[in-house]
């Protein structure tokens, strides 16, 4: 006798969707977390109106959009995140035949603001990359205990290596913390990266980054060494949150805005490559963008800078 397929209740749909994203689509932990939170908020909103996932219609989501925009004053990325989660969720329900139709499909969001990515200048990046060593040198003078000095040293060299690799290869933090020794191809000057959707790509790594990696691995205590490249004091992989906190520390040391995110180093990587003549297709591949249009935003940055430089310098601009 054939086993009957379990019929899922609407309250179970979200967890099955998130399981699908993680184990079949290979989405990042950030996407899973953000989608979970977005769908939880929607569920709470409609539960207060005694409505379930299988009863919601187009007009319900129009009213939800209005509520978010007017009452909660959300806009831009916050609205897009919530409705991106909802659209993916209902597409999943359609494919798995849990629900027919997509009530959010035609809900129109406010027009997306055109904002260019922010980036650091080459001089700012240089000063920023040296920040861990500057701080270590200051602290080292105050430490008489050799054990404490060595502890500070390997962490400083680890942080240098992290910053160098981020800038050298334009990696996302989620990609950096997953790096293992097997992903390094020093002979070819490349690193294998597992990007969004479990898509693997090869990215070049510059000589300063390789040198920083070498120094870090040489000073890393033997008990902490493993296949994972970037580790914390317990030997476990460093977390994205740790990288973010470390980033702020070095921004302050360099006199830069501590609100700048690690992703700005990725923007800087892309902008500086284009400034020095890199072609758009190669940049797309290095960044791991699925669509060239996503990469093209960096050409606008370069064009804006050229225009401002021209207007400032040309006598008949």
- Residue numbers annotated as active site: 172, 196, 263, 266, 289, 298
Q: From residue 257, how far is each of 100, 163, 252 by CA, in Å? A: 49, 17, 7
Identify which of 78, 63, 65 has the alpha carbon closest to the alpha carbon of residue 109. Answer: 65
> Phi first, then psi: what are they for 188, rounded to 5°?
-95, -5
Structure tokens at 192: 């294998």
3-state secondary structure of 291: coil
User: Cα-Cα-Cα-Cα dihedral of 120, 124, 125, 127, to 10°?
Assistant: -160
How far is Cα 270 from Cα 284, in angstroms, rounded to an integer?
Answer: 9
Identify which of 166, 169, 168 has the alpha carbon closest to the alpha carbon of residue 243. Answer: 166
Neighbours of 240 (CB within 10 A): 17
Identify which of 49, 46, 56 has the alpha carbon closest to the alpha carbon of residue 90. Answer: 56
């Amino acid at each position: 006798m054939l086993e009957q397929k379990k019929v899922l209740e609407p309250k179970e749909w979200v967890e099955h969707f998130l399981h699908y994203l993680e184990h079949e689509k290979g989405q990042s932990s950030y996407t899973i977390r953000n989608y979970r939170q977005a769908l939880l908020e929607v569920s709470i909103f409609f539960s207060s109106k005694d409505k379930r996932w299988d009863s919601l219609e187009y007009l319900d989501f129009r009213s939800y959009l209005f509520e978010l925009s007017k009452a909660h004053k959300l806009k831009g990325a916050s609205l897009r995140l919530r409705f991106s989660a909802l659209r993916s969720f209902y597409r999943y329900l359609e494919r798995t035949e849990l629900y027919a139709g997509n009530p959010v499909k035609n809900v129109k969001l406010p027009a997306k603001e055109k904002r260019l990515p922010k980036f650091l200048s080459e001089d700012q990046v240089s000063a920023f990359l040296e920040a861990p060593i500057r701080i270590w040198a200051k602290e080292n003078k105050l430490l008489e205990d050799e054990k404490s000095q060595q502890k500070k040293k390997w962490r400083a060299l680890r942080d240098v290596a992290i910053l160098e690799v981020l800038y050298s290869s334009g990696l996302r933090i989620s990609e950096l913390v997953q790096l293992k020794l097997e992903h390094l191809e020093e002979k070819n000057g490349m690193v294998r990266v597992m990007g969004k959707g479990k898509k693997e790509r090869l990215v070049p790594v510059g000589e300063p980054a390789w040198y920083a990696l070498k120094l870090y691995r040489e000073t890393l205590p033997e008990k902490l060494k493993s296949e994972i490249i970037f580790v914390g004091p317990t030997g476990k992989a460093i977390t994205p949150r740790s990288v973010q906190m470390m980033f702020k520390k070095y921004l302050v040391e360099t006199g830069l805005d501590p609100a700048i995110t690690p992703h700005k180093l990725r923007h800087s990587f892309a902008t500086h490559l284009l400034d020095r003549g890199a072609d758009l297709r190669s940049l797309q591949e290095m960044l791991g963008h699925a669509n060239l249009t996503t990469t093209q935003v960096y050409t606008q940055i370069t064009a804006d800078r050229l225009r401002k430089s021209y207007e400032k310098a040309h006598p008949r601009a």
